Amino acid sequence: MLHTLELRNFRSYEDGLFGFEDGVNIIVGPNASGKTNLLQAIHALGNMKAFGVQSELLMYGQEQAKAHGVFDDEDRTLKITQLGTELTVDGITHKRIPAQKRLPVVVFQPDHMLMLSKEPELRRQYIDDIISHYKNGYASLLRNYKRALLQRNKLLKQEHSTASDAFVWDMQLVDLASEVVRERKALAKRLNEYVSPMYHRIAKQKKDDVEVVYETPHIEESSQYADAYHAQLKKMWPLDKARGFTGVGPHRDDLSVKIRGRLARDTASRGELRSLVLSLKLYELDVVRERYDKQPILLLDDVFGELDGSRRKSLANALTDTQTFVTSTDADVVVEHFSDHNIIPL
């Protein structure tokens, strides 16, 4: 649990001190009053980075920013300068946060409501964030894959490069991609078991079957992934060369959610899409709770305004014993769903 948060020169906060309770903390204020900035500070204390757009955390014109949080069993101080960021936990300073020092923090933003209807990048980010919570080294694996992909794409843009020149990068991509896809498919399988019953609870619709599928375009499901991916990289070299980028791999894969046997993004109603997204986010909350063996901190950034009454109630019912921070321009939209709450006006 986070008890107090002190901010100095952090985003829009020149100097701020906030106290929180262990239930639901409702942060209320008009647009551009700093509500999201407050949640970003909490997230940064847990993970050394803000969620959403990684815009400048250091207040314009200042040389140093600080966020200091007092939690149940530790103090954390995030220091930000033009040279970089460092996190001090109980007197020990880290330039990069170790996995065991991450805090269980889950974010839910309005953009997440578009997860199923917009570009695949949102869905890839969702599954990668979840895997990074429970799989040590997965974030590093992704970074290495992206570096190898960048190098291959640079080679594609060189005028006289050939497929044989790409062999080293192709082999690196194959090795790294195989691990990424294996983890993503395993998660998709678990999602498939979870999402349908949760959707039925939220939507109160028990006859609609929900299916979650991890898709690898151009690679047959029955094939050995590494061999099939390597073959596709060689086969698509002329097209990749013409376009200047690699057109197959985990960076192009997708997580498809189907309802009644058809893609949700094509056939589901607005309300059905929201119920499905809620189901996915509640799975993330459960994973983080289990991984850290403690209740996570939940950050709801103006999400209640995106939901109707029944879905607000479903979300509220799932937050038992979870310290939650909710931003809103209208406290009444949130208050009615929580008997125990703390209002923080901005």
Convert 125-169 into a string of H (helix), E (strand) and C (coil): HHHHHHHHHHCCCHHHHHHHHHHHHHHHHHHHCCCCCCHHHHHHH
What are the beta bridge partners of residue 24? 324, 341
The average pLDDT across 212-219 equals 92
How far apart, in whole angstroms, are the C-alpha atoms of residue 83 and residue 72? 30
pLDDT at residue 65 greater than cutoff 80: yes
Question: What does the pLDDT look like over 97-137, one tens digit per residue?
Answer: 877 788 889 998 888 888 998 999 999 999 999 998 889 89
Q: What percent of the chain lies above the pLDDT cut of 70?
A: 98
pLDDT at residue 53 greater than cutoff 70: no
The CATH architecture that domain 1-104+294-346 belongs to is 3-Layer(aba) Sandwich (3.40)
How far apart, in whole angstroms, are the C-alpha atoms of residue 173 and residue 102? 28
Residue 52: per-residue pLDDT: 64
Question: What does the pLDDT look like over 288-338, one tens digit per residue?
Answer: 888 888 888 999 998 888 888 888 888 888 877 789 999 999 888 888 888
Lowest average pLDDT, out of 53-62, 176-185, 207-216, goes to 53-62
Question: What does the pLDDT look like over 223-260, one tens digit per residue?
Answer: 799 999 999 999 999 999 999 999 999 999 999 999 99
Residue 55: per-residue pLDDT: 59
One fold for 1-104+294-346 and 114-293: no
Q: Which amino acid is at 277?
A: V
Spans of all domains in the chain = 1-104+294-346, 114-293
Residue 113: per-residue pLDDT: 86
The average pLDDT across 16-26 equals 93
Question: What does the pLDDT look like over 27-48, one tens digit per residue?
Answer: 999 998 999 999 999 999 988 8
| 67 within 8 A of 45, measured Cβ to Cβ | yes
| H/E element, 81 | strand 75-81
Tell me the C-alpha to C-alpha distance, in Å, between residue 315 and each of 243, 306, 334, 338. 44, 12, 11, 11
What 3-state class would DSSP assign to 52? coil
How far apart, in whole angstroms, are the C-alpha atoms of residue 262 and residue 268? 9
pLDDT band, very low/low/confident/very high, at 222 (cuts 50, 70, 90)? low
| 306 within 8 A of 299, measured Cβ to Cβ | no
Using the 8-state DSSP alphabet, how is residue 58 labeled? B
Tell me the three-class secondary structure of 272-326, residue by residue: HHHHHHHHHHHHHHHHHHHHHCCCCEEEEECCHHHCCHHHHHHHHHCCCCCCEEE
Topology of the domain covering 114-293? Glutathione S-transferase Yfyf (Class Pi); Chain A, domain 2 (1.20.1050)
Which tokens sit at 203? 């939507």
How far apart, in whole angstroms, are the C-alpha atoms of residue 249 and residue 292? 31
Tell me the C-alpha to C-alpha distance, in Å, between residue 270 and each of 117, 200, 258, 305, 307. 10, 16, 14, 14, 10
Instruction: Provide the total of helices (H) and of strands (E) in the chain, helices listed first.
Output: 10, 14
Using the 8-state DSSP alphabet, how is residue 260 labeled? T
pLDDT band, very low/low/confident/very high, at 167 (cuts 50, 70, 90)? very high
What are the beta bridge partners of residue 8? 15, 66
pLDDT band, very low/low/confident/very high, at 150 (cuts 50, 70, 90)? very high
Question: What does the pLDDT look like over 139-149, one tens digit per residue?
Answer: 999 999 999 99
pLDDT band, very low/low/confident/very high, at 84 (cuts 50, 70, 90)? confident
Using the 8-state DSSP alphabet, how is residue 248 labeled? S
pLDDT at residue 171 greater than cutoff 70: yes
Residue 25: per-residue pLDDT: 94
pLDDT at residue 215 greater than cutoff 60: yes
pLDDT band, very low/low/confident/very high, at 62 (cuts 50, 70, 90)? confident
Alpha helix stretches (DSSP H) within 204-297: 225-235, 237-243, 264-267, 270-292
